[in-house]
Amino acid sequence: MAGWNDRWRTGNNVFDLDHKQLSTLLDLLEDSLGMLPDSTFPDMLAHRLVREAREHFRREENYLRLHPTPQTAGHVAMHEAFADKLDRLVARIEANDGAGARDLIVEAQRMFVDELLPADSEMMATLAARIAVAH
Ligand SMILES: [Fe+2]
Ligand SMILES: [Fe+2]
């Protein structure tokens, strides 16, 4: 993935900063596997990515519980599928399987851009429409 793209903004600045950080951590992890595969960087970055992703999902799910949409259950399930993928990624890195880790990074990046970010944009658009109707 070639870095953050401002078209991915959802309209919620907290979530957007979280997303930018997650996208950057995925990129840094990918770079570290290419540039310093035998160092402690990949493991350190992978654990940081897992921690930040969990924090982000917790923040978003608190918000979704306060403002449920018809897509909330599917949205939370998607977060869980992504978190599972990151756990498998950490396991590959801990097993020193750089090629396996890189495959999972590509899958995680694709899922982030094609599924997670559109779901978040849809969530924010649904809530914005609800607010517009209420006024
Ligand atoms: Fe989300
Ligand atoms: Fe998100």
Around ion ligand 1, which residues have CB less than 5 A away?
Answer: 60, 120
- Digit-coded pLDDT (tens) for 7-47: 999 999 999 999 999 999 999 999 999 999 999 999 999 99
Average pLDDT on 48-72 reads 95
- Cα 19 to middle of ligand 2, angstroms: 6
- Cα 9 to middle of ligand 2, angstroms: 10
Average pLDDT on 75-103 reads 97
How far is the C-alpha of 59 from the C-alpha of 74, rounded, in Å? 16
Report if residue 3 sits inside a domain: no
User: What pTM did the predictor assign?
Assistant: 0.93
Domain hosting 97: range is 12-134
Report if residue 4 sits inside a domain: no
Band of pLDDT at residue 131, cut at 50, 70 and 90? confident
Q: Which ligand is nearest to the CA of 14?
A: 2
Report if residue 1 sits inside a domain: no
Give the chain's domain count: 1
Residue 74 dihedral angles phi and psi, to the nearest 5°: -65, -35
How far is the C-alpha of 119 from the C-alpha of 11, rounded, in Å? 13
DSSP reduced 3-state for 64: helix
